[in-house]
Chain A
Amino acid sequence: MKITGLKERLGFMTALACLVLLIAGTVYYVFDFKMPGPFVPHLTPDAQAPPLAEASPDSYMDNVSLLARVIMGEAGDEPYNGKVAVGAVMLNRMQSSAFPHTLSGVIFQPNAFESVDNGFIWFRPPSSEAIQAAIAALSGWDPTYGALYFWNPAKPVNPWIWSRQILTQIGQHVFAL
């Protein structure tokens, strides 16, 4: 008797749970069907970093904010000179015949930068140090003296990259020509 009661209660609970799931699923399906659809990056405003627009009302600052985002995505946990170095690599690529000749071309080249390919640059707002690094790189500071590639030797990379002439190592990154 006791056992049957427990079984019955179990069965009832299962049916109830299914019903709840069913209702929840239907509500989700009907009202929110589009939500998990195409991935749209949302720009997250950064509370700490001073707004760039305020510091400089001109449109020539687009480069700073774009470069700062990629620096944050690629070298967010690197020391300051490592951040400047990553920014300098992007700018050096513009001067190289083997790469696109615009900053946006370099940054958005498919398979060029992991944080651009996986969209992380749109989720991690640049710190003020990343912005400062972008400014330094755009003003001509280059701790690598002309590097075109950088990678983290601790992570798996295309073996081809090791054929490049290594110039220096800053933090976790190796920089090469």
Chain B
Amino acid sequence: MRTSRSSAAIVALAILWGVTALWGIGQVRAKRQTDVLLQNKYSRAFYDTLQRTKNVEALLSKGLVSGSPDQMDAIFSDLWYNANSAQENLNQLPVSHDVVAKTSKFLSQVGDYSYSLSKQNKTRNLSDKDWQTMQQLYRTSASLNQEMSAVERAAATGSFHWTEIQGGLAKKLPQGSAGSVDNSFRQLETRLQELPVLVYDGPFSDHIDKIEPQGLTGGLVSLDQAKQIARSFADLGGAAVQQTVVSGEVRGKIPSYSLALRTGNGPQDAITINVSKQGGHVVLLLNPRPVAAAKLTDDQARTQALSFLNSRGLTGFMPSYTLRQQNVLTISFVSTQDAVAVYPDQVKLQVALDNGQVLGYEALGYLTSHHRRALPSPKITAAQAKAKLSPRIQVLSERLAVIPTTSKGESLAYEFKTKLADETFLVYINAQSGEEEHILKLLNLPNGTLTL
């Protein structure tokens, strides 16, 4: 009796063990499958990067020897495409940011630089300076490829496995212990220590980081003055400031005091407001109050926003685009100078649609770029500019505007509001050269206007 019971228990345990083992085997298989999928995904991204960077090197060298303008056009658009694709694939690899940041920057700049040359028709007749820059880029890309090949050898001979990083991930990767994938890439970054400084007309040009703010007029203000400015600037919506807390400061381009106006004890009763140390300008205001219902129309909210700006001494603005989300209307206001719209100088406001309280104010871009400009007189007339437009579109209105270029420069342009079928477009014709500088598509959504 006892023996048969214990043998039954042993059999039961054995079966249980067997079931568990089978389940375990299933788990291991599933994990292996996921590993293989990941390994394939990462290998694909890596080999794509490798191929694209090789193409970049080859195209740069071809650009150095080509004498045909048509060929040059094709080479530069290929360069732009291959460099971008390389950058995109590189950033999908499971490596730490610090070991690929420079490579990523290099590839962004090669693509951006090629694009800006093509856009300005500079590829057809490459200047000596641009030719030398290309030679520099070529040399850098060659040494980049040497290192990439070293990584490839390491990957192909199995000295590291893309998916090993997943184990590290569980332990929270940035604990300082670099995996061997990181180590394989580290040489790459050391090689690119000396990247050429590239200044050109594009968003990733090296001069962009060095732009100094121009809108910070006035002398230094003390913390007490800043508190005073904050209290009189904020729209309290009927509440009273119980306490003004210094929550810290912001360094960087516009050194500011960061203050919190407490109107109650809840987490949402604190208005964040940043006041610049120089000039005491309000850089940013954020009020976390949720808005339950919309009672105001967009027009009413726009009027509220304008009177807010005027009462704070901010004049000469006209509303441009609006978007209604979560019962809050976001409005951007464009500054004007002598009836010319100055698009780089914008402030943005958020108005609560329940009571018209201003919940947000943003002037970082405005304070960076605003100054009194010496506007050139247009070299071409509005009628001449209009003649440059496509004959297929209908012009609704026109005006002069200062628009930002991709590299944070500015140009004076005629802004034409035009129509093609039911769709509205803003077309910008440079007032000096007559070139079509930019096209914006206006999307009229039920909750506002978006530009594309």
Residues of chain A at the chain B interface (Cβ within 8 Å): 8, 11-12, 14-15, 18-19, 21-22, 25-26, 28-29, 33, 36-38, 50, 55-58, 60, 64, 79-81, 84, 95, 97-101, 105, 109-112, 114, 117-118, 128-129, 131-132, 135-136, 139-146, 155-161, 165-170, 177
Which of A36, A55, A112 contacts B326 (CB under 8 A)?
A: A55
Question: What is the bound-complex CA distance between A138 and B250, given in angstroms?
Answer: 20
Q: Shortest CB–CB separation between residue A39 and chain B, in angstroms?
A: 8
Known: A139-B350, A140-B348. A95 touches B328 (CB 8 A): no
Residue of B whose beta carbon sits closest to that of A159: B176
What is the bound-complex CA distance between A14 and B286, given in angstroms? 65
Contact B19 A29 (CB under 8 A): yes
What mask results when residues 137 to 178 of chain B are scored 1 for a CB within 8 Å of chain A, else 0? 000000000000000000000000000010001001111100
A8 to B96: give the CA distance in the assembly, Å.
62
- Bound form: Cα–Cα A33–B332 in Å: 56
Supply 9 further A-B pairs (C-beta < 8 A) apart from A18-B16, A80-B272: A18-B13, A22-B16, A56-B447, A80-B267, A80-B268, A99-B97, A140-B332, A145-B254, A145-B256
- Give A118 to B170 CA distance when docked, in angstroms: 8
| Residues of chain A with a CB closer than 8 A to B203's CB | 95
A168 to B252, CA, bound (A): 9
12 sample A-B contacts, Cβ–Cβ < 8 Å, listed by A number: A15-B6, A25-B23, A56-B446, A60-B443, A97-B105, A97-B112, A111-B94, A111-B95, A131-B326, A142-B362, A146-B252, A168-B258
Is B240 an interface position by the 8 A CB rule? no
Q: When A15-B8, A55-B325 are in contact, do A158 and B19 touch as well, CB less than 8 Å?
A: no
- Residue B375 interfacial (CB < 8 Å): no
Residue-by-residue, is B171-189 near A (CB-CB < 8 Å gives 1, otherwise 0)?
A: 0111110000000000000
Does A97 contact B12, Cβ atoms closer than 8 Å? no
When distances are taken between beta carbons in the complex, the residues of chain B under 8 Å from A80 are 267-268, 270, 272, 286, 288
Whether B290 lies near A11 (C-beta < 8 A) is no
B364 within 8 A of A: yes
* Any A CB within 8 A of the CB of B91: yes
B95-118 interface with A by 8 A CB criterion: 95-98, 101-102, 104-105, 108-109, 112
Residue of A nearest to B102 (CB): A98
Partner of A128, one of B112, B290, B364: B290
Of chain B, the residue at the smallest CB distance from A132 is: B326
Q: Say yes or no: B16 contacts A37, CB within 8 Å.
A: no
Is A142's CB under 8 angstroms from B364's CB?
yes
Interchain CB contact under 8 A, B250 and A144: yes
**Are A141 and B12 in contact, with the CB atoms below 8 A?**
no
Q: Report the Cα distance A114→B173, complex, angstroms.
A: 9
Q: Is B323 an interface residue (CB 8 A)?
A: yes
Q: Report yes or no: A166 in contact with B251, Cβ–Cβ below 8 A.
A: yes
Q: What residues of chain A lie closer than 8 Å to B290, measured between beta carbons? A: 128-129, 132
- What residue of chain B has the Cβ atom nearest to residue A142's Cβ? B364
By beta carbon, the residue of chain B nearest A95 is B203
Contact-residue bracket for chain B = 35 or more
Closest chain-B Cβ to A40's Cβ sits at a distance in Å of 11
- Chain B residues 428 to 452 lying within 8 A of chain A, measured CB to CB, are 443, 445-447, 450
With A25-B16, A97-B204, A158-B175 as contacts: A55 and B250 at CB distance below 8 Å: no
CA distance in complex: A37, B27 (Å): 7
Q: How far, in angstroms, from A112 to B299 measured CA to CA in the complex?
A: 42
CB-nearest residue of chain B relative to A58? B445
A167 vs B249: C-alpha distance when bound (angstroms)? 8
The answer to whether A97 and B108 have CB atoms under 8 Å apart is: yes
> How distant is the Cα of A117 from the Cα of B94 in the complex, in angstroms?
11
How long is the Cα–Cα vector from A168 to B28 in the complex, in angstroms?
46
Q: B27: which of A14, A36, A167 is its contact (CB, 8 Å)? A: A36
A143 near B348 with CB under 8 A, answer no
Asked whether A18 lies within 8 Å of B9 as measured between CB atoms, the reply is yes
Partner of A84, one of B19, B23, B175, B286: B286
Closest to B206 in A: A97
Q: Could you say which of A11, A28, A50, A136 has the most chain B C-beta atoms within 10 Å of its C-beta?
A: A136
Inter-chain contacts of B27 with A (CB < 8 A): 36-37
Task: Check A15 against B325 for contact (C-beta < 8 Å).
Answer: no
B360 proximal to A (CB < 8 A): yes
Complex contacts, B328 vs chain A, CB 8 Å: 132, 135
Contact A141 B360 (CB under 8 A): yes
Given A58-B445, A105-B88, A166-B251, also A25-B20 (CB < 8 A): yes
- Determine the residue in chain A with the shortest Cβ distance to B291: A132
Instruction: Give complex CA distance A100, B446 in Å.
Output: 32
Within the complex, which residue of B20, B93, B174 is in contact with A157, where a contact is CB–CB below 8 Å? B174
Chain A residues positioned under 8 Å from B23 (CB to CB): 25, 28-29, 33
Residues in chain B near residue A141, CB distance under 8 A: 284, 286, 348, 360, 362
Q: Which of A55, A98, A168 contacts B251 (CB 8 A)?
A: A168
CB of A8 within 8 A of CB of B26, answer: no
Proximity bits, B267-288, A CB within 8 Å = 1, else 0 = 1101010100000000110101
Bound complex: CA of A75 vs CA of B243, how far in Å?
A: 25
Residues of A contacting B9 in the complex (Cβ-Cβ under 8 angstroms)? 11, 14-15, 18
Inter-subunit contact A26/B19 (CB<8 Å): yes
**Closest chain B residue, CB of each to CB of A14:** B9
The answer to whether B250 and A37 touch across the interface, beta carbons within 8 angstroms, is no
Q: Which A residues are CB-close (under 8 A) to B256?
A: 145
Q: How far is the CB of B254 from chain A (nearest CB, A)?
A: 6
A37: which B residues are within 8 A, CB to CB? Answer: 26-27, 30
